[in-house]
Amino acid sequence: MFKKFEEKESVTGVTQLKSSAQRGIRAKLLDEYSHCEDYLNQIVPKKEAMKIVKCHDHVEIIAIGNELLFFRQRDGPFMPTLRLLHKYPILLSHQQVDKGAIRFVLSGANIMCPGLTSPGGKMAPADKDTVVAIMAEGKEHALAVGILKMSTGDIASINKGVGVENVHYLNDGLWHFRTVK
């Protein structure tokens, strides 16, 4: 999604949201990330001005101040940016890939089932279409955010094909996108 994302070409507009729209987004975030309600109050304070950055391919990025917090495509789920996920790793469940998959994930490839089920991989139980953090064997921080294409039970039993769709990874266009005007 963000492989060829460049600020000058991809951003179509930045809008400061009305307080009613901010309340709606806060409610949706609290619904999606109910397990970390205390942290969401720190991440998305009620009194801060929230902006929405509209981009090509129906991508919306939520920003407070100059910090990019969450993004989504069309009416999909809100996903935290990697910078936010590094500060608050509790936001998403973690799926770990083995060392051999790291360079492929960092180039934008989807995560294949064998990379999750090999001896270096670990999976936390999760359902299909769940937003997850992709961790790497031996590393502290997440290297990607993805969406499960199968439940973790199916990944373990089938062990073939794409297990997680890579949506946002280290050093992609969103990672390098820093300023919101």
Q: Where are the domains of the chain?
A: 7-87, 94-169
Residue with tokens 């997850």: 132
Of the chain, the percentage scoring pLDDT greater than 90 comes to 73
- Give phi and psi for 159, each to the nearest 5: 55, 40
Query: What is the SS3 assignment for 162?
Result: strand
Q: What is the mean pLDDT of residues 66-73?
A: 92
CATH class of the structural domain 94-169? alpha beta
Contact of 172 with 2, CB cutoff 8 Å: yes
Confidence of residue 166 (pLDDT cuts 50, 70, 90): very high
* CATH number of this structure's domain 7-87: 3.10.400.20
Tens-digit pLDDT profile for residues 38-49: 888 899 988 889
Q: What is the mean pLDDT of residues 126-139?
A: 94
Evaluate whether 7-87 and 94-169 have a shared fold. yes
Q: Please tell me the pTM assigned to this model.
A: 0.90
Of 71, 50, 68, nearest to 60 (Cα)? 71
